[in-house]
Amino acid sequence: MWILRLNMTDANYRLEELPPAYKNLAGRAMTSTLVSDEVPPLCHPLGPHNKLVFSPGIVTGTAAPTSSRISVGAKSPLTGGIKESNAGSSWGSGLARMRIRALVVEGQPKDKRFQGACITWDAAQEKPKVEFFDAAEYTGKDLYEVYPKVYEKFGKGISVAGFGMAAEHGYGNAGIAFNDLAKRPSRYSGRGGLGSVMASKALKFIVLNAAGAPGVSIADKALFDEGRKKLLEALQTHDITKPKGALNSYGTAVLINILNEAGGLPTRNFSSGRFEGAAKIAGEAIFEGNKQRLGKEVYNHACSPGCTIQCSNTWYNVDGTERTSCMEYESTWALGANCGIDSLDEIATMIQLCNAYGLDTIETGATIGVAMEAGVIPFGDSKGVIRLIEEMGKGSSLGRTLGGGTGFAGKAYGVVRVPAVKGQGMPAYEPRAVKGMGITYATSTMGADHTSGYTIAPEILGVMGKQDPLSTDGKAALSRAFQATTAAIDSTGHCLFIAFAILDIASGYQGMIDECNGVLGTKWTADDVYAYGVAVIKKERAFNEAAGISKEADRIPEFMKIEPLPPHNHVFDIPDSALDSVHGEM
C-alpha cells in the first residue's frame, strides 16, 4: 500500500510505503489523520502549507455493496477548521485498486498555471505512475463542456476529479466534482470549499486509469465474502434501501414530504418548518412527473460502482431529454423550499448550473436564502435565483459575496437570521423541530453538517425505534453515538445510507465489520468500530482547537433560541451544558 504525494511547487511526485501506524486507516480516518499530522492548524487554507488529501475507504474497490466512496480532507476555507467531505464515484474505486491508500496534494506553484495529473498503473514497475499535463485550456469553462474533452483526451475508461469556476474564484462554497457512471461532473465533495483548496494548488484535474492494477488486497477472503453477503441481504430487505424501496423509487427527495409533515422542512430562510409547495418538489412528484413525461416508470440509478441502493435520480424535460441529474433532497430543498420556490424545472436548472460552476448546492441555497432575507431578491423569485447563481459563475462582486458562503453573506448584508455554524450553512433539517439534528449541527467538527451524525434516522424515520424529534431527552447522547459511528462508516468507504439497514438489522452491522476484518486482517468488534470513530473525531477536535475553534463555537445561532418555529412553535432549547457533553463525554 502507498501514499502518493503530488508536489505542485515543481510538479513532481513520489510514492511512499504506507507507514505501519497508518495500516488500518482509510477514508475519513486517513484524511483527518494526515491533515492533523501534516497541516499547521493556523495556516491559511488557500496558502502553500495546507494539504489536500484523498483516501478511499477500507473496502472501497472491493465487491462490498455500496462502498465506492472517496473521502477528501483539508483545512477548510469556509469553516477555518478541519474538513472531510466524501462522494460516490468510480474515482475512489480506481485509487483503491491501484493500492493507493492516500493521495496527498501539497505545495503551490509560483506561476499558478493550472495543470492536470494523470495517474496510471505501470505494469512493468508494478506501481502507479503520474504524468502532469497543461490544463489551462480547461479553465473558465462550464464543467459539462470540459469533462467530455477530458474523456476524449484520455479515453473512456478513466475517472475524473476536478473543479469548476467557483474554485478558480476561490469561493468558500466550491466543491470537487467527480464523475458519475454516465461521466457527468455531478458527484461532489461539495461542502467546506475543498474545490478552492485544490484550485490553490493549481491542480485542475486528477485523471485516473486503473487498467491493469492489481486490486485491493484482502487478508481473509472467506470472512470478507461472509460479511458482504450479510450486508447485502440487509440492504436488499430493508424498506428504505431495498430495490424499488423508498430511496430507489423516490430518491433522497422522498424526505421532502416527510420532513414537511414533521414541521422540520426549513422554509424561506428557516422562518417556518412547513412549505406549502412541498408536494410539488418532493420525490414522489419527481417520480410521477418523469412517468408522465416519458410514458413509463423510471427508477433511480447508482452514482458509483457496486451500489445496490441506487438513489440517484434524473429529471427530464417535457420532450424527454435530460434536464439534470441528480436532484438530491438537500439540493432540492436548498434551492426550493428554502428560497420559496416550488418548480422542479426551475430547481433542476439551478442544480445544473451549480454542477457546471462547481458550487455546493447546500451552501448556495442557504446563502441565497440569507440574501433573500436581506431583500436582494424576493422569496419565490426563481429567475432571480438563477441570475444570482450565474453571477457566482462570473465571479462578479455580487457573485463573490455570495460565493463566500452563508455566514459571510450574513455579515455582508447585516442579517440576523443566518442559519450557519462555524461559518457553514445548515442543510435541510430544522434544529427547532428535530433537536438531535440541531445538536449535531452545533457540535460537529465539520460545521453544520447533517452527514456528521444523522439522527434523522431515529427521530424522523423510526430507524432503531422512533424517538420524538421535539424532545430534548437523551439527544446529546444520541448525537454523540451517531457522530462516532458515522466517522467509522465514513472510514470504511460505505455510503452513509447503509446505516438505515445496519442499525435495524444486526446481521448487516456485523457484515460491515466482517468486511473490514476480512480486508485488514483485524478482529474488530462493534465496540472497536465505535472506538475507531471516537478516535477520528478526537483528532479532528484537537485540530480545530489548535486552529482557534473552541467549544464556544459549538452553538446554534441565537435566533433559533428565541424565535419559535411554526407550526410547532418550539425554540432550540438544548442547554449549553448538554452541547458541551457531546465531546466532553466522548
Same domain, residue pair 68 and 147: yes
Contacts of 434 (CB under 8 A, 6+ apart): 262, 264, 455, 456, 459, 460, 469
| Residue at 232 is within a domain | no
**CATH, residue 570:** 1.10.599.10
pLDDT-derived band of residue 112, with 50, 70 and 90 as boundaries?
Answer: confident
Residue 219 located in a structural domain: no
Residue 264 lies in a domain: yes
If asked whether residues 22 and 152 sit together in one domain, one would say yes
Which of 158, 191, 209 finishes a domain?
Answer: 209
Tell me how many domains the chain contains.
3
DSSP classification of residue 337: G
CA nearest to 235, candidates 576, 511, 575, 538? 511
The Cα 50–Cα 482 span in angstroms is 29
- Is residue 4 within 8 A of residue 120, CB to CB? The reply is no
Listed residues 152, 187, 209: the one ending a domain: 209
Give the pLDDT confidence of 492-542 residue by residue, as tens digits.
999 999 999 999 999 999 999 999 999 999 999 999 999 999 999 999 999
CATH code assigned at 17: 3.60.9.10
Per residue in 120-171, pLDDT tens?
999 999 999 999 999 999 999 999 999 999 999 999 999 999 999 999 999 9
| Listed residues 161, 181, 209: the one ending a domain | 209
In a domain, 402, yes or no: yes
Whether 216 has a pLDDT exceeding 90, the answer reads yes
- 227 in a domain, yes or no? no
Q: 550 and 419 in one domain?
A: no
Looking at residue 360, which CATH number applies to its domain?
A: 1.10.569.10
Print the domain residue range for 139.
2-209
22 and 111 in a single domain? The answer is: yes
How far is residue 327's CA from residue 178's CA, in Å, rounded to a whole number?
Answer: 16
Same domain, 386 and 500: no
Please report the pLDDT score of residue 107 as a whole number: 97
233 found inside a domain: no
Tell me the three cell numbers of residue 85: 467531505
Reduce the DSSP state of residue 226 to 3 states and report it. Answer: helix
- Give Cα 563 distance to the centre of its chain: 30
My answer on whether 299 and 365 are in the same domain is yes
Asked whether residue 477 falls in the same domain as residue 548, the answer is: yes
Are 388 and 480 members of one domain? no
Are residues 475 and 447 part of one domain? Answer: yes
Q: Is residue 446 part of a domain?
A: yes
User: Does the residue 476 lie in any domain?
Assistant: yes
- Over range 350-362, report the average pLDDT: 98
Please tell me the predicted confidence (pLDDT) of residue 297: 96
- Based on the fold, state whether residues 44 and 16 are members of the same structural domain: yes
Q: What is the CA radius of gyration of the chain?
A: 22
Same domain, 384 and 435: no
Residue linked to cell 430518491: 251
User: In this predicted structure, what is the pLDDT of residue 492?
Assistant: 98
User: Do residues 275 and 170 both lie within one domain?
Assistant: no
